[in-house]
Amino acid sequence: MIWDIVVKDAHKLSQEKNYRDCKPELAIEAGYKCVYCCIHESRFGGIRNFHVEHFKPKSKFPNLINTYSNLFYSCSICNCFKGNDWPNNHSDKFDKPFYPNPLLINYFDYISVNPSTGFILGKTVTTNYIIEKLYLNRPQLVNERRFYQLMNQLTKNLNCLRELEEKLQKLPKEKKAEIFDSFLETATSVRRITQLQVKLQSISPYTIPQISK
């Protein structure tokens, strides 16, 4: 679970379009992840459980309600926690509560992740405020981050297992038979887990046509 700057098509930035029709495009831009907590839609029930987020709340900035540059892809939980909150405008010092624009700021640069616990901590007043306000250390997210770290470690281990597998193949027949079966079973399981994770992250559980039936 890694945050990224959201990249929008430059031709769309000033576009005015009914925000309700923008969700599929916003999902693609966001890499199918929530702009705030970074959870992938495949881990959260798909596009139906995600909202079109008005970065600057529509209740306070009604003139931006359909401005494409103000729209982002957010999970329903983060969207509800943020609501109409807009404590301050941007500050380059990050010394007060505000929401950095995901088009300009990579949240990951201002957040530290504990890989063993999955908890995150803000490096600034600003990001600590966001973490608390949006409850970014809620149990599901903590466990998702731990899972993400473990998957990264498994991928590294898989590369080591491949090297060991090659060495095992060169052992004398009687010695190889002794350990090869158990090793092969472990290596196969790890390989399947990593392949499944890649597959899960590359699919969308539900599409707009499917949930509109």
Give the rounded percent of residues in the chain with a pLDDT score beyond 90: 56
Q: Is the pLDDT of residue 174 over 90?
A: no
Domain ranges in the chain are 10-138, 141-211
7-28 tens-digit pLDDT: 999 888 888 999 999 999 999 9
101-143 tens-digit pLDDT: 999 999 999 999 998 889 999 999 999 999 999 999 999 899 8
- Side-chain-side CA neighbours of 203 within 13 Å: the count stands at 9
Q: What is the DSSP letter of 21?
A: G
The vertex-170 CA angle with 168 and 172, nearest 5°, equals: 95
User: Does an H or E element contain 187, and which?
Assistant: helix 173-202
- Beta strands 50-54 and 111-113 are unpaired
Q: Is the pLDDT of residue 147 over 70?
A: yes
Determine the distance from the C-alpha atom of residue 126 to the mean position of all C-alpha atoms in its chain, rounded to a whole number: 20
- Three-state SS string over 26-85 comes to HHHHCCCECCCCCCEHHHCCCHHHEEEEECCCCCCCHHHCCEHHHEEEEEHHHHHHHCCC
Residue type, 173: K
Residue 72 or residue 173, greater confidence = 72
Mean pLDDT of 64-84: 97
pTM of the model: 0.79
Count the helix, strand and coil residues of the chain and give each as a percent rounded to the nearest 5: 50, 10, 40
CA distances from 154 to 143, 160, 195 (A): 16, 10, 11
**pLDDT value at position 171?**
73
Four-residue CA torsion sign, 137, 77, 35, 154: positive
- Side-chain-side CA neighbours of 4 within 13 Å: the count stands at 14
